[in-house]
Chain A
């Protein structure tokens, strides 16, 4: 059972929102779609879910072309950023609605919902309204609803971006446990690259409606195919030196170190981040960011250097890796 997307595209009027999208997700694999806002990642999910019509290309789920099948018939479980729980129904009723319209017997429904509530650790909250739950609990209800659907593919649309940073960290392993245990393809949309790296097996970077690269987090970090990806993945952001002969050289802030010989710099400002510190430097090559351990003393004469092997080269015009 796999999800295969071939040359998928959708346009509204003259404008292509998503185009030439190819993606392959295995069972039990989680692919994160990341990109800046408006890059088409949510639109891609809506296409896979069947909420928006497909303009070109194919979506194939378990060898079946579902590109033009209605949303109700696609067996897709989706978790929305805004949870999308019905505010006038209790947690139990929210979970029951889908089972009811799909014709599950009342005794069966009761049993399955109880089991599901236990799985997401909300067994004592069955009768309360969503408004009485915390954000994390609401998201677990939304997740439970998707799990009860027992879908062939899971689509998570920024499921945790309404939660605070600490809660997100706590929920991440739980999300993996609940969703990936089902051994179904999972697509996780997020604008948070940390979340993507923590959860996903592979990451697809989207930019203006096109996939720029699909790779494991390590590959993406060490071998970014475009300058856009190099800048998008990794914080603090990668340093880009002045282009020479149409080639942009880029170096990660943590690859820079102080040396006797190299590039003379002036310290502009300094951010202390606990385990590391971030220095903003001004050099003849432009402004640089240098990340180093807090135990490193900052020398009087700031001269930075880096190893040749840590350099990334990109074409100035196309932004492609050289």
Chain B
């Protein structure tokens, strides 16, 4: 087996299901169950129409997920950036201990928390509020975000900050002029990971939100899949999947360069 076939097989393995989903979304229901259908009966946009014209329309969920995704990413970075910096400046032993705790927290299966979180949401009256969802999302992404950003801070030569201190830059100015620009690749890749988590998250969104106009994508998709007990709406589900992945594909395409350079770390050299 040469290299080319190996790459081809890997591509098929990872992209195959996606392409199949795209294909399915454009097929009529009839075409999905019968192998031989005439050309004009095979291709259709009806699934997209039905998904977009449903009540509430599908773009509503996209907007909801975007709101939650952007707000949780913003909140997460707002807290993680100073924390990652501080982790770099506290005494070494304390920092090592904190990092260990963060790794533990990052590896913790968060599904175990969702019942407790539901109780919290009920007690604090956070149910059915989109922005409230960003609280658990930002918190759950926090350990990983801090660790990733801390690595980026570690890679910066310490003299850069020393020189800036001597020039008279305050902590805030040092962030503005040195840290934010220099760790932007790591920040971008962290932001994508946090956004992805929020975009895909299911159990918390399912339990916190019941108002159908405030659902996020994963929950809405599950509703489409289970909308009828007599049939499985493959076509509509596939159309929703395709629509739901478009924003992510765009996001990754736009930020491709910083993500790759951020994930491979050592991105910034003095």
Chain A interfacial positions (CB closer than 8 Å to B)? 46, 49-51, 71-72, 74, 76-78, 80-88, 97-98, 101-102, 145, 149
When the two chains form their complex, are residues A87 and B168 in contact, meaning their CB atoms are under 8 A apart? no
Choose one: B166, B167, B182; the contact of A88 (CB below 8 Å). B182
**A-B contact list, 8 entries, CB within 8 Å:** A72-B169, A72-B170, A83-B270, A84-B157, A97-B167, A97-B169, A145-B163, A149-B166
When the two chains form their complex, are residues A102 and B168 in contact, meaning their CB atoms are under 8 A apart? yes
Q: How many residues of B contact A (CB 8 A)?
A: 20
When the two chains form their complex, are residues A149 and B167 in contact, meaning their CB atoms are under 8 A apart? yes
When the two chains form their complex, are residues A87 and B182 in contact, meaning their CB atoms are under 8 A apart? yes
Given contacts A82-B270, A87-B268, contact A76 B166 (CB under 8 A): yes
Partner-binding segment picked from B3-11, B37-45, B82-90, B173-181 = B173-181
User: Is B119 at the interface (CB under 8 A from chain A)?
Assistant: no
When the two chains form their complex, are residues B173 and A87 in contact, meaning their CB atoms are under 8 A apart? no
Choose one: B157, B160, B168, B181; the contact of A72 (CB below 8 Å). B168
B residues less than 8 Å from A46 (CB atoms) = 162
- Give the CA-CA distance A98 to B181 in the complex, in Å: 17
- Give the CA-CA distance A13 to B244 in the complex, in Å: 56
User: Is B257 at the interface (CB under 8 A from chain A)?
Assistant: no
B residues less than 8 Å from A74 (CB atoms) = 166
When the two chains form their complex, are residues B166 and A87 in contact, meaning their CB atoms are under 8 A apart? no
Given contacts A82-B270, A87-B182, A88-B182, contact A72 B165 (CB under 8 A): yes
When the two chains form their complex, are residues A88 and B181 in contact, meaning their CB atoms are under 8 A apart? yes
- Give the CA-CA distance A238 to B164 in the complex, in Å: 43
A residues less than 8 Å from B157 (CB atoms) = 82, 84
When the two chains form their complex, are residues A80 and B162 in contact, meaning their CB atoms are under 8 A apart? yes
Q: Binding site of B, secondary structure by majority: helix, strand, loop or mixed?
A: helix
When the two chains form their complex, are residues B163 and A78 in contact, meaning their CB atoms are under 8 A apart? yes
Given contacts A51-B165, A98-B167, contact A87 B159 (CB under 8 A): no
By Cβ-Cβ distance, the 9 closest A-B pairs, closest first, are A98-B167, A84-B159, A84-B163, A72-B168, A71-B165, A80-B159, A88-B181, A51-B162, A82-B159
When the two chains form their complex, are residues A98 and B177 in contact, meaning their CB atoms are under 8 A apart? no
Would you list which residues of chain B between 149 and 198 have a CB under 8 Å from chain A? 157, 159-160, 162-170, 173, 177-178, 181-182
When the two chains form their complex, are residues B166 and A72 in contact, meaning their CB atoms are under 8 A apart? yes
Nearest Cβ on chain B to A152's Cβ, whole angstroms: 12
Given contacts A78-B163, A80-B162, contact A86 B168 (CB under 8 A): no
A residues less than 8 Å from B164 (CB atoms) = 97
Nearest Cβ on chain B to A88's Cβ, whole angstroms: 5
Nearest Cβ on chain A to B189's Cβ, whole angstroms: 18
A residues less than 8 Å from B170 (CB atoms) = 72, 101
When the two chains form their complex, are residues B166 and A101 in contact, meaning their CB atoms are under 8 A apart? no
Nearest Cβ on chain B to A80's Cβ, whole angstroms: 5
B residues less than 8 Å from A101 (CB atoms) = 167-170, 173
- Give the CA-CA distance A38 to B56 in the complex, in Å: 69
B residues less than 8 Å from A72 (CB atoms) = 165-170
A residues less than 8 Å from B159 (CB atoms) = 80-82, 84
Nearest Cβ on chain A to B187's Cβ, whole angstroms: 14
When the two chains form their complex, are residues A86 and B166 in contact, meaning their CB atoms are under 8 A apart? no
When the two chains form their complex, are residues A78 and B168 in contact, meaning their CB atoms are under 8 A apart? no
Nearest Cβ on chain A to B18's Cβ, whole angstroms: 37
Nearest Cβ on chain A to B182's Cβ, whole angstroms: 6
Given contacts A78-B163, A80-B163, contact A87 B270 (CB under 8 A): yes
- Give the CA-CA distance A83 to B160 in the complex, in Å: 9
- Give the CA-CA distance A87 to B167 in the complex, in Å: 16
Nearest Cβ on chain B to A147's Cβ, whole angstroms: 12
When the two chains form their complex, are residues B177 and A97 in contact, meaning their CB atoms are under 8 A apart? yes
Nearest Cβ on chain A to B94's Cβ, whole angstroms: 14
- Give the CA-CA distance A158 to B48 in the complex, in Å: 67
- Give the CA-CA distance A86 to B268 in the complex, in Å: 11
A interface footprint on B251-270 (CB within 8 Å = 1, 0 otherwise): 00000000000000000111
Choose one: B162, B165, B177, B269; the contact of A86 (CB below 8 Å). B177
Residue of chain A at shortest CB distance from B157: A82
**Among A50, A81, A87, A149: residue with most chain B CB under 10 A:** A87
Given contacts A51-B162, A97-B177, A101-B173, contact A84 B167 (CB under 8 A): no
